Amino acid sequence: MKNGAHLGHIAFLPALQMGLVALVLGGCADSAGEMAEDQLTPEAQEARVALDPTAEGELPPAIIGEGGALEGVPLHYVNGDTLTTGYLAVPEGAGPFPALVIIHEWNGLVDRVRQVADDFAAEGYVTLAADLYQGRTGSNPEENIALVQETQADMPAVISNLNAAVAYLRSRPDVTGRVGAMGWCFGGGIALSFGLDGDNHEATAIFYGRLVDDPDVLAGMDHEVYGTFARLDGGPSPEQVVAFEGALDAAGIEHDLHIYDDVNHGFWLRVDGAPERRTVAAQGAWERLKDYLGRTLGG
């Protein structure tokens, strides 16, 4: 496990409300224990998502509001914790496949995130959508902020949770051993923190998450970083993204970062919210993401 000295540098800040969207990002912590015997249920072993990668010019169905019935299964992946309930989506076939941990937004593990997990399984990744709120979700900004604040009060537990997710994925015989982490907003900041302080993994993808501009802190990253951001976003602002890029350069960390014009915070996970403005940017971000995961995790 990497040195935990970064924890103080990536602490959460109070929530910034932007209409109904808030940016509350950051956080790090500890390591995971042994897998519980019931973590991989018979249902989890049998559930499969048909391999059906997106063609050129296509977006994953979930992010355009066309996600179907859920094809994965709930999963208790943290040893001794029956409240934390992730969602596992596994591609059809024997594999082995690369794997992903995806990290929810500030409102918790909701069905759109589960549908995205199914979409990544269709792309050929064993995908575990993590649960940082022990099965709870928020239904309004106040509830969401309360969940974030409760979570940030025990940041070591956050990384311990994600370490358990990675350990579970690596234990599966149908996984290559290469695992990435990605998230949006709250989850994007968590993904960056996990890339710095979690157990070793091979990819970190950030969608408009809280950033770090200290090269000494970022020097703890041992793999290329992907980032997608919005020009009309105030958190992180384009200026903060530029500072993040400069710090990555100073630390010698490879990166693929892009700020998309004419879109705002949250544009990628909910393209259907304003398809006429978001589709082109979302497509560019998706093609970059596929390329990034291909070169860091393999296919």
d(CA 132, CA 144): 12
d(CA 289, CA 256): 9
In one letter, which amino acid is 13? L
Q: Over the range 33-60, which residues count as b (16 or more CB within 10 Å of their CB) and which as e?
A: eeebeebbeeebeebebeeeebeeeebb
Please state the rounded mean pLDDT for residues 133-160.
Answer: 93
How many domains are contained in the chain? 1
Per-residue model confidence (pLDDT) at position 200: 85
d(CA 97, CA 120): 11
Tell me the two tokens of residue 278.
Answer: 């978001």
Residue 158 CB burial class (10 angstroms; 0-12, 13-18, ≥19): buried
- Indicate the DSSP class of residue 54: P
pLDDT digits (tens, 9 = 90+) for 76-88: 999 999 999 999 9
Please state the rounded mean pLDDT for residues 109-121.
Answer: 98
pLDDT digits (tens, 9 = 90+) for 160-205: 999 999 999 999 999 999 999 999 999 999 999 999 999 889 999 9
Q: What's the pLDDT band for 45 if we cut at 50, 70, 90?
A: low
Structural domain including 55 reads 4-297
Choose the weakest-confidence range: 26-30, 75-79, 89-93, 280-284.
26-30
Examine the pLDDT at 146 and tell me if it is beyond 80: yes
More confident residue, 187 or 16: 187
pTM of the model: 0.86
CATH number of 237's domain: 3.40.50.1820
Q: Which helix (H) or strand (E) holds 12?
A: none
Q: Rounded to 5 degrees, what are φ and ψ at 297?
A: -110, -20
Examine the pLDDT at 27 and tell me if it is beyond 80: no
Which residue is listed with tokens 């990002």?
25
CA distances from 75 to 48, 82, 131, 275 (A): 14, 9, 10, 33
